[in-house]
Structure formats: C-alpha cells, structure tokens
Amino acid sequence: MSDERIKRALPRLALLAALVLLMGSLYPLLRNKRFMEATAENIQSVEMPAQARTQDRLENNPARIAQWHLFGKARTVSQRKAQKTPRKAPETRLKLTLKGIAESNETAQAHAIIAAPGKGQQSYRIGDELPGHAKLYAIESHRILLDRNGRIEALSLPQPKPGSSISMIK
C-alpha cells in the first residue's frame, strides 16, 4: 500500500476503532436494559385481581397497620402500675431501710438503694432478691413493694426530720 492510501484510510480506521470501542462499552448497558425490560414484561404480565389491589391500598396504610396490634396492645405506664401495685400494702417488718429511689418509666432503669444491717447499702432492681428472702416487686416515687412469700409488703422512704431537706430526681 502506498503512503497516500494509508493517509486517506487513517480517519476511517480511527472512526471504525472509536465505534468498536463505543459498542464495547455500551454492550453491557444495553444487555442490562434488555434484561430489565424482560423482567418488567414478566412482572406486568401477572395481573392482580381488582379486589387484591383495593385491599392492598387499604392495608398498606401505616395507620391501618398500627391498628393491627401485631405484638399486642401496649398498656400505658399508669395501667401497668395500676395492674401490679396494690394501693394498700402493710409496712414490712424486715430490718431494711430505704435510702433512695430512682424511678423510671423503663422498668430496667428503675432501682432502689436499700440498707440492711451488716450488709451496708446496695442498689436493687425489680426482681432482685433482697435480704430477708424477699424480692423487689415494684418501685414507686415514695416507696417500694416487696414480694415476701407471695405477700406484698411496702418499704417507705423515711419521713424527713423537721428542718431537713429532700432531693427528688425523676
């Protein structure tokens, strides 16, 4: 081939090379698009009954889903307390002193500081075993309730002495 023919063919070869590169880079995109279209056609070919579409619109409403109570109905804090804490409970005769209370809406975070003779002060949570073979049953703002052999007893905070101050943290 002569140099002149090569010079004339060079722009055409460059254009051909550019087209091959372009097609090579576009092929995966086109292939993926065809796959997605084929999948979309398959999905669209499955017709949903009109009743199911109407029901789907009603049931996918978040407010309706919340009304299903999938995990049961939650009780308010006051309902839980009213259910498990008796209003009147006799004062316990155990030799315990209630030193402090940290009340919380979250049962796991509430605790009481109780002192027992010879054991010092300790922090207890609901369900913990207390000295004297009792369990901490409930924590209220001014007292705790103990379960002592199936009988509920109260242990109240000591009454403040005249002239002293009390701090309450909720």
Q: Where are the chain's structural domains?
A: 1-46, 77-156
What's the topology of domain 77-156?
A: SH3 type barrels. (2.30.30)
The C-alpha atoms of residue 163 and residue 146 are separated, in whole angstroms, by 30
Return all residues near 99 (Cβ < 8 A) that are at least 6 apart. Answer: 113, 114, 115, 121
Which residue type is seen at 120? G
Q: What pLDDT is attached to residue 78?
A: 47
pTM above 0.85, yes or no: no
Model confidence pLDDT, tens digit, residues 83-110: 555 678 899 999 999 999 988 777 778 8
The C-alpha atoms of residue 127 and residue 135 are separated, in whole angstroms, by 6
104: closest CA among 81, 121, 72, 84?
81
Model confidence pLDDT, tens digit, residues 23-37: 888 777 777 766 566
The C-alpha atoms of residue 79 and residue 74 are separated, in whole angstroms, by 10
